[in-house]
Amino acid sequence: MLIKNITRLIAAAAGAAVLSTNVALAQDGDAPARDLNQLLDFVKQGQVTEARENRAREQRFTQNKANQQAELRSAEAERTRQEQLSAQLENTFEENELVITAKQAQLVERLGALSELFGHLTAASGDLASNIEVSLASAQYPDREVFLKDLIEKMSGSDTLPSVDEIERVWYELLREVTETGRVVAFDAEVATPSGELAQRSVVRVGAFNIVDADGNYLTYNNGSLSELPRQPSGNYTGWASSLASATSGLHTFGVDPTGPTGGSFLAAIIDSPTLEERWHQGGYVGYGITAVGVFAFILAIYRLIVLSAVGAKVNSQMKSDKANDNNPLGRVLKVAEDNPNMDSETLELKLSEGILKETPKIESGLTLLKIIAAVAPLMGLLGTVTGMIITFQAITIFGAGDPKAMAGGISSALVTTVLGLLVAIPTVLLHTFVNGRAQRIIHILQEQTTGMIAEHTESSLRS
């Protein structure tokens, strides 16, 4: 019975210390206990091992606590040192502020009138840099404004004074800009085409006004690069520019834009002005019809002039001949008198009048049509004008009258047809007058010759 109680007690103790026993067994690598005595030995060994580990752990805790106290004392000492250093730096900063204030006052006192001078130098450098950025001379001498901007930043952002060399360079750049505005210089530069392609070209700069290439194309300078204008001025401007580009000396005619390359209002106005072809297209279908009628009238008038000139020459030859020739109106009229020599005067007069009446429509052919065209052309122009004005007022109704340029453009396009009508009517009237004069001259000759012939016939009849 006692052995059983002891066994239960040992089992309970073994269950309570199972973890430490397992650790000891794991460390020793022994096999499980074979009897109670061996189990008791294992429990005893586990208690000894656990006690040894606890003592080692307590020693580490004590040592760490001492280290923490040492580190805390070190951190407090460092904080005290940094506070002392901060106070020292604050004192030094205050002393330096006093020194800076004194130095600045000393600088202002020593500068005296120079401060005003440097202020003017800064303003002059700023104005010069702004002019140089858009100046055509910068296409030949790039990056001149970089020095001026650095100098302005230097004088504005610190107390550093400009050197004598820098002041002299500002003066040099100012004089060079003034000098370059009066020179005509040729040099090579990279030019951008309207499609965006870059190419090296020979260009000519005319002062600070315009710059052209060897082909006479006007160029524009923007953001440090040259580019060809997508639309060139019409007229002789490009031809003059090409002549100037190929010249080596002497005086040459050239179209200078006095407003300069940046504003360029005069050159822009010339470029924006429509050409004759563009104005003609502004007339629309009515303008095309007026042009067609005008061309037809011109061709008809020229044709009738040629025909009447040939008929007039034949009539003049007939007047010098004694025999009637039927290749001209006068000959055919005279042929009537030759074929009827014994006819009485009154009948002969009627026959000759009949012959003249037959020839008159052929001679006056086309005159009525020319007169109609001269009268209809202005009416067609007026029709186009009224139609254009209606379209313009409809646009004003939709979009308003806030843009005078749009209204002026519409009215200008509407009046193109009136101009075309007058351009057709005036020459047509002149041509009609000229052609009618030729025709009336021939008819007058016919009447004169027949009247003379009747008089001779009457006189010969009275004698007989």
pTM: 0.54
pLDDT at 43: 72
pLDDT 10s digits, 190-221: 888 888 888 888 888 888 888 888 888 888 88
Domain count, the chain: 4
Model confidence at 18, in pLDDT bands (50, 70, 90)? very low
The residues facing 199 across adjacent strands are 191
pLDDT at 12: 46
pLDDT at position 20 over 70: no
pLDDT at position 29 over 50: no
pLDDT 10s digits, 403-462: 666 666 667 778 888 999 999 999 999 999 999 999 999 889 888 888 888 887 787 777
Domain boundary among the residues 151, 181, 211 is at 181
- Where would I find the H helices in 321-403? 329-339, 345-363, 367-399
Query: Is position 95 within any domain?
Result: no
Q: Which of 29-43, 121-135, 143-157, 431-445 has the highest mean pLDDT?
A: 431-445
Query: Is position 297 within any domain?
Result: yes
Quickly count: other Cβ atoms within 10 Å of residue 441's Cβ. Answer: 14
The DSSP code sequence of 248-316 is -SS-------TTHHHH-HHHHHHHHS--HHHHHHHTHHHHHHHHHHHHHHHHHHHHHHHHHHHHHHHHH
Residue 141 per-residue DSSP state? S
Residue 253 per-residue DSSP state? -
Q: Distance between CA atoms of 304 and 424, rounded to whole angstroms?
A: 18
Domain boundary among the residues 80, 103, 126 is at 80
pLDDT at position 32 over 80: no
User: Token match 């030859």: residue?
Assistant: 317
Same domain, residue pair 150 and 170: yes
| 175-184, 252-261, 293-302: the lowest-pLDDT one | 252-261
Same domain, residue pair 123 and 54: no
Domain boundary among the residues 181, 212, 240 is at 181
**Region 308-334: what's the mean pLDDT?**
85
Q: Roughly what angle, to the nearest 10 degrees, separates helices 2-16 and 36-111?
A: 20
Please tell me which residue, 250 or 301, carries the higher pLDDT value: 301
Query: Is position 413 within any domain?
Result: yes
Q: Distance between CA atoms of 100 and 433, rounded to whole angstroms?
A: 99
User: Token match 């050409």: residue?
Assistant: 275
Do 329 and 448 meet the contact criterion of CB atoms below 8 Å apart? no
pLDDT at 359: 86
Q: Distance between CA atoms of 85 and 225, rounded to whole angstroms?
A: 58
Same domain, residue pair 158 and 32: no
The DSSP code sequence of 392-443 is HHHHHHHH-S--HHHHHHHHHHHHHHHHHHHHHHHHHHHHHHHHHHHHHHHH
Torsion from C-alpha of 358, 362, 363, 365, nearest 10 degrees: 140
Cα–Cα–Cα angle for 212, 191, 271, rounded to 5 degrees: 45
| 64-68, 94-98, 108-112, 369-373: the lowest-pLDDT one | 108-112
Same domain, residue pair 358 and 408: yes
Return the beta strands (E) in 45-179 as ranges. Answer: none
Q: Could you tell me what percent of the chain has a pLDDT over 70? A: 83
| 36-45, 48-57, 210-219: the lowest-pLDDT one | 36-45
Same domain, residue pair 373 and 456: yes
Residue-number span of the structural domain to which 62 is assigned: 2-80
Q: Could you tell me what percent of the chain has a pLDDT over 90? A: 16
Query: Is position 93 within any domain?
Result: no
Same domain, residue pair 310 and 407: yes
Same domain, residue pair 330 and 445: yes
pLDDT at 319: 84
Query: Is position 85 within any domain?
Result: no
Average confidence score pLDDT of the chain: 80
Residue 12: φ, ψ to 5°: -65, -45
pLDDT at 2: 39
pLDDT 10s digits, 230-243: 888 877 888 888 88
Give exposure, 199-231, as e/b (b: 16+ Cβ within 10 Å): eebebbbbbbbbbbbeebbbbbbeeeebbbbee
**Region 161-175: what's the mean pLDDT?**
86
Query: Is position 356 within any domain?
Result: yes
pLDDT 10s digits, 391-401: 777 777 776 66
Same domain, residue pair 366 and 448: yes
Q: Distance between CA atoms of 343 and 457, rounded to whole angstroms?
A: 9
Residue 163 per-residue DSSP state? P
Return the beta strands (E) in 125-249 as ranges. Answer: 184-192, 198-206, 210-213, 218-222, 225-228
Same domain, residue pair 289 and 420: yes
Same domain, residue pair 68 and 193: no
pLDDT 10s digits, 264-320: 566 766 776 777 777 888 888 888 999 999 999 999 999 999 999 998 888 888 888
**Region 157-181: what's the mean pLDDT?**
83
| 30-34, 64-68, 312-316: the lowest-pLDDT one | 30-34
Please tell me which residue, 23 or 170, carries the higher pLDDT value: 170
Query: Is position 46 within any domain?
Result: yes
Same domain, residue pair 309 and 414: yes
Nearest to 267 by CA among 235, 242, 224: 235
pLDDT at 436: 92
pLDDT at 325: 81
Half-sphere exposure of 42 (CA within 13 A, CB side): 28
Query: Is position 164 within any domain?
Result: yes
Alpha-carbon distances, residue 169 vs 31, 121, 128, 185 (angstroms): 100, 12, 12, 23
Q: Distance between CA atoms of 191 and 196, rounded to whole angstroms?
A: 9
Strands 218-222 and 198-206: unpaired
CA dihedral (451, 456, 457, 461) positive or negative: positive
pLDDT at 31: 56
The residues facing 198 across adjacent strands are 192
Please tell me which residue, 150 or 274, carries the higher pLDDT value: 150
Q: Distance between CA atoms of 36 and 362, rounded to whole angstroms?
A: 161
Q: Give the max Cα distance, the chain.
A: 208
pLDDT 10s digits, 357-392: 888 888 889 899 999 999 999 999 999 888 888 877
Same domain, residue pair 203 and 332: no
